[in-house]
Homo-oligomer: A and B are copies of this chain.
């Protein structure tokens, strides 16, 4: 049994961690931190947790005593706090973007702030859990991937790894539920204006674009750029990523399906759909699954991959717990066996 703390306790990432960790047999939630709600019972802000007795606390990095701290904070916070925790041998799993990008100038460009020091960035382990290089008992700092990158990279990884696509042809048309925008108020996510409304946003400028590019560039060992367009869907949870790539060789639908099936054969959270069957966001709602459907368009020699995740689970808190399990050598799905909530 380990003790954990959660920073950013009044956000959606934190309450999803709480929902999931409550069922994790090896984890005790010792601290929930929120500097704006110190000493308030968590049930005041979140009545759905009325059965819990936790109170928010102030984070004092020097005094807390636990094994792991999760940062479920906006960007630009963990980079200041994580190093002192790591020094005290407290492991850190960062759900924010602070440690995801290795290139400080790219961080500056997309996040608009100074990046963490280079040596900190180099200690961080960016971990899509299915393709992780977390070292059990050694990894101290995990950069938990973003929601769009998770849905997208699980779909692209086999294609790039197999070298069957033109790497300069990747177009990602991604769609997310509104919880991805977080709990902070804003006009465009005000109910009356977001409801019954569908839109594109941040075209060419989204923080997750360089994150995707960094991963596949490293995998392909060449500098790859992608076109990435995020959209906002009038629903709370779920991401669907539609990915278009040009094939550099003749591949059949059956052939591509076999590749994906083999790649994910031993990965419990990735479910490859049969040919002709495409996943829907609700089919993974509340769960850690990533479901993938594939289609080869022989006419244009391109492939279309459709992947779905719950942005708050596999796209954030669920994958963070999956990474925690890898860090401790526990069964990968410990605490993550929730069946999707359907309908």
Question: Are B199 and A279 closer than 8 Å at their CB atoms?
Answer: yes
Question: Are A199 and B300 closer than 8 Å at their CB atoms?
Answer: no
Q: At the interface, yes or no: A152 with Cβ under 8 Å from chain B?
A: no
Residues from chain B with a CB closer than 8 A to the CB of A252 are none
Residues of A within 8 A of B (CB): 12, 15, 18-19, 22-23, 46-51, 168, 171, 173, 175, 177-179, 181, 183, 185-187, 189-201, 203-204, 225, 227, 229, 231, 233-238, 240, 242, 244, 268, 271, 273, 277-287, 289, 291, 293, 295, 297, 299-300, 302, 304, 306, 337-343
A183 CB to nearest B CB, Å: 7
A217 CB to nearest B CB, Å: 14
Residues from chain B with a CB closer than 8 A to the CB of A271 are 50-51
Question: Are B48 and A192 closer than 8 Å at their CB atoms?
Answer: no
Q: How far is B202's CA from A277's CA once the two chains are assembled, in angstroms?
A: 10
Question: Are B236 and A196 closer than 8 Å at their CB atoms?
Answer: yes
Which residue of B is nearest A340, CB measured?
A: B48
Question: Are B339 and A48 closer than 8 Å at their CB atoms?
Answer: yes
Question: Are B284 and A48 closer than 8 Å at their CB atoms?
Answer: yes
Q: How far is B282's CA from A237's CA once the two chains are assembled, in angstroms?
A: 13
Q: How far is B234's CA from A236's CA once the two chains are assembled, in angstroms?
A: 11
Residues from chain B with a CB closer than 8 A to the CB of A235 are 195-198, 234
List 7 tightest A-B contacts by C-beta distance, closest first: A197-B282, A199-B280, A48-B283, A185-B185, A173-B173, A48-B340, A192-B343
Question: Are A286 and B200 closer than 8 Å at their CB atoms?
Answer: no
Residues from chain B with a CB closer than 8 A to the CB of A302 are 227
- Excluding A177-B196, A196-B285, A237-B343, 10 further A-B contacts by CB distance (< 8 Å) are A50-B273, A178-B191, A178-B195, A181-B192, A189-B191, A196-B281, A200-B293, A203-B278, A229-B242, A286-B341
Residues from chain B with a CB closer than 8 A to the CB of A227 are 244, 297, 300, 302, 304
